[in-house]
Amino acid sequence: MADPLISTGTGATIAFSGLTIAGLYPVANAGVLIAAFAGSLIFVLTDKEFSRLVRWLLFIASMLAGIVAAPFVAAVISYITPEAIEARLPIGALVASAVAVKILMALMNDPFSFLTKLRGGGKPNAK
């Protein structure tokens, strides 16, 4: 049986090595990659209801969502906050990667109630 400390350390080393190599690519924003990685870790470490394989797959999906949605989420955060506060791309990546998979899972479980709550509707009045 593998030692949990060694396997965790190996996984972290592989992940950070991948981030370092991806950060050297001139088109990629290193801050966005690291923030998306951190947001994905937040999501994976707080959600214990899935198996290890499913959590790895959700980690990858969360990280990709954070990288892709970073400009949009940063713009939304900048729009909501006062004018003196500007959200940069890494903040958008962190929030997007931590929230994106949760929103998609809520949509998959019960799309109609999620959309009703999103529109501001509640339970219908029972008379």
- Please report, for the chain, the start and end positions of each structural domain, with discontinuous segments joined by +: 27-118
Chain mean position to CA 60: 9
- For 63, counting Cβ atoms within 10 Å of its Cβ (0-12 exposed, 13-18 middle, 19+ buried), the class is buried
Q: Is the pLDDT of residue 21 over 70?
A: no
Q: Is the pLDDT of residue 105 over 60?
A: yes
pLDDT, one tens digit per residue, over 58-90 is 888 888 888 889 999 999 999 999 988 888 999
Measured from the Cβ of residue 9, the count of other Cβ atoms closer than 10 Å reads 11
pLDDT, one tens digit per residue, over 3-20 is 554 556 666 677 667 666
**pLDDT for position 2:** 56
**pLDDT for position 127:** 47
Helices (H) and strands (E) in the chain, counts: 5, 0
Residue 97, SS3? helix
- In this prediction the pTM is 0.68
